[in-house]
Structure 1
Amino acid sequence: MDEAPGTGAAEVARIIDRVEACGAVYQVNGGWGVDGLVGRQTRPHRDLDIVLDDAHETGLVSWLESRGYRVQEDWRPVRVELAGPDGRVDVHPMRLDVYGDGIQQGLGEDQFLHAARDRTLGRIGGRAVVVATAGHQRALRRGYPLRDVDRHDLAQLDRWEASRR
């Protein structure tokens, strides 16, 4: 199943319900992270990018598979992407330290810090979700050529930040 429909807000809410019911530390990144921060959906989303406490990765993947999702790319411990009848989910495991900061393994020796201070509440599909802060969302878009969706997301962050001044 290489082609899955876009991942809608209702599916994001179902996945977050499951993650929170398990007590996992997480944050939504990517396009849904930006839309969660600004409080409304501003564009279609191919997938849900979720950074998740690595102790809960296997459980989330198993639950998604029980709902018809199948692994499309497996780069663990960096990430695992699944596609299913209700969309795509890109799971990025992070190892938590005693302060609640998460370290995500990158390719090779790269590592990415998802500090507890860089998590905040947003809204997706009418429910509260943990998302990366605007500053962290911007940082996550550095180091690679920007796509049209990235430019769109950065413009949304600009508008959102301007409205808060």
Structure 2
Amino acid sequence: MINLHYRKAEKSDAEPLIDIYNSAFYDDYVRYGECPAYGKTVEQMENSIESFPKEIVISDNIPVGVISVEEKGDGIYYIGCLCVVPEYQGKGIGTQAFRHILSVYPDWKKFVLITPADKEENIRFYTEKCGFKGDGTLMDGNVKVVKFIKER
């Protein structure tokens, strides 16, 4: 198991967060021609940090991912981002990060997220590693996405 720690992102982290997001979501941007997590400006990222709390996932003092969770109230949380840069994927970091999310929000009743419907690796991760269930599809821009829910 890789030793990870997590640090709350601050506005001063905007540029490193942009680097992580751009690395993690570049393939989506190329694949779909759009990706809301890719290509943010510093100002957009600073606003996002204020609006949606983020934690930086760190391994051996290297930022390797980001977690962003929005509280919706009544124990319901929306996972806006759980990403790991490509060089660190497949090492259990995402699974550990999700377990961290569960510990940070002990009052959770339901987690909700969306991911592209044709991203089989994401679907396997969320269903097999994290215990989510599919809850239908919808369009996000020109991308068909699957809504996932994990309930207690």
Query: TM-score under structure 1 normalisation?
Result: 0.31
Which of 1 and 2 has higher RCO (CA within 8 Å, sep 6+)? 1
